[in-house]
Structure 1
């Protein structure tokens, strides 16, 4: 499964990067390809490319704030959750994504 997503917390610091890391590790353990963009106080990092977006089976938005360019995911299967959910339940979210994509 090809997963893309965005992580963004209120402060744009800790939870943003923790959520990204937890999702990346959980997806890798499950054998999935994942690319996660971060949006925060220092701007956008690891920006998703149009090719990555087009190829994605599902989008995970681990966000606590409004993000930039959300419309680029129109037409994709999307799961949106707070960063805290990802921090505590990344493996369960990967399983949920697998169910949705089936």
Structure 2
């Protein structure tokens, strides 16, 4: 089973952070993947990824509109960086690219 972890954050740390998290989660689940999304919003970090979550991840998705806290956790993992608006509006297309990458690397 494919495991995806993601961290979403936006400059204001409010609506788009959570909209992006929901879109990524829904798109990953639509592919039958396990997914956990951490949000870094105006009220702090929620649904924080554990070291076990990160270790099990086949792919990491990070929004790039603002710096992600504790990004060094992902140094040995393949990382996709997308804009928060792409996460909200184009999550299924992002997952297609993730699937293509994972298929290529597992072949």
**TM-score per shorter chain, which class?**
over 0.9
Partner of 2:37: 36
Q: Please report how far the alpha carbon of residue 72 of structure 1 lies from its aligned counterpart in structure 2 after TM superposition.
A: 0.5
Counterpart mapping for 1:11-30 below 5 A: 11-30=12-31
Q: Please report how far the alpha carbon of residue 99 of structure 1 lies from its aligned counterpart in structure 2 after TM superposition.
A: 1.1
Partner of 2:96: 95
Q: Please report how far the alpha carbon of residue 63 of structure 1 lies from its aligned counterpart in structure 2 after TM superposition.
A: 3.3
The answer to whether the 8 Å contact 1:3/1:34 transfers is yes
Q: 3-state SS of the aligned residue for 1:75?
A: coil
Gaps of 5+ in 1: none
Q: 3-state SS of the aligned residue for 2:90?
A: helix
Gaps of 5+ in 2: none
Q: Please report how far the alpha carbon of residue 30 of structure 1 lies from its aligned counterpart in structure 2 after TM superposition.
A: 1.1
Q: 3-state SS of the aligned residue for 2:76?
A: coil
Q: 3-state SS of the aligned residue for 2:48?
A: coil
The root-mean-square deviation of aligned C-alpha atoms, in Å, is 0.7
Aligned length: 102
Q: Separation in 2 of the partners of 1:43 and 1:100?
A: 32
The TM-score normalised by the length of structure 2 is 0.92
Moved >3 Å (runs of 4+): none
Q: Please report how far the alpha carbon of residue 29 of structure 1 lies from its aligned counterpart in structure 2 after TM superposition.
A: 1.1
Q: Please report how far the alpha carbon of residue 12 of structure 1 lies from its aligned counterpart in structure 2 after TM superposition.
A: 0.3
